Amino acid sequence: MTMKKGKLFVISGPSAVGKGTLCKRLLSDGGSKGAKIELSVSMTTRKPRFGEKDGKSYYFVTEDEFRAEIGKGGLLEYAEVFGCLYGTPKEPVLAALERGSNVLLEIDVQGALQVRENHPDSLLVFILPPSLAELRRRIRHRGSETAEQVAGRLSKAVSEISAIVKYDYAVVNNHLGRAVAELREVIEGRHARLKAAEAAEIAKRFAGDGTASGR
């Protein structure tokens, strides 16, 4: 009997929307019925921070090693952020899918679209805030950004949300438990796909909110 392949779910959303928390909560709650869920581990050239472990937090490599992976087509996506390279190793993801596991890849919009190009069977899931006002509150609650940085993150959020028209699913993170349940439904194939008209309306609504908030 041939083992059924897993699916690759790419999770994106604005900064502070809670996508990382959603993924961790889903895994800690036992994932979903049926296929096992694994979280993809990214590769980076930056130095490990306190408490981070190679192969679990990230695969920590040199720039030469990273560029060698690019050269041989070993990454599903990659980007340079603040002088360091970040990417998603292809081999561990494909191996997990072959084992029948579903794979969660938490990544930004630009990387998600690269993954879709390199792995057309991937499913893109956008995590939305209830509103820009709530997203602003969450960013401010972290207490690590200036007013100018908060405004910049909100402006970037509107830009990122405009890409929702290229996504397959949308989950609003208003209540954590409910959002985790919806994400589980997506993975189990029980959640409605995002229609083009719905995606366009969401992008339009958040663009309007951004204008109204004086971003």
CATH number, domain with residue 143:
3.40.50.300
Q: Work out how many domains the chain is built from and give that number.
A: 1
The CB-side HSE value for 61 (13 A sphere, CA atoms) comes to 19
With respect to residue 156, please indicate whether it lies within any of the assigned structural domains. Answer: yes
- Judge whether 111 lies within some domain: yes
pLDDT mean across residues, the chain: 91
Is residue 173, in this structure, part of any structural domain at all? yes
Q: If you average pLDDT over residues 25-45, what whole number do you get?
A: 85
3-state secondary structure of 193: coil
* Res 59 pLDDT > 80: yes
Q: What is the pLDDT of residue 153?
A: 86
Burial state string for 196-211 with b = 16 or more CB within 10 A and e = fewer than 16: eeebeebbeebbebbe
61 found inside a domain: no
* Residue 158 lies inside a defined structural domain of this protein: yes
Asked if residue 58 belongs to a domain, the reply is no
Query: What average pLDDT does range 68-77 have in this prediction?
Result: 96
Domain membership of residue 172 (yes or no) is yes
Which tops the pLDDT comparison, 125 or 29? 125
Residues 142-158: what's their mean pLDDT? Answer: 85
User: What domain range is 115 assigned to?
Assistant: 8-40+101-212
Instruction: Evaluate if residue 211 carries a pLDDT over 80.
Output: no
147-161 and 196-212 are packed helices; what angle lies between their axes, rounded to 10 degrees? 160
What's the whole-model pTM score?
0.89
Q: Report yes or no on 48 lying in a domain.
A: no
Looking at per-residue confidence, does 210 or 151 come out higher? 151
**The residue type at 195:** K
Helices (H), the chain: 19-28, 63-71, 90-98, 109-118, 132-142, 147-161, 176-187, 196-212
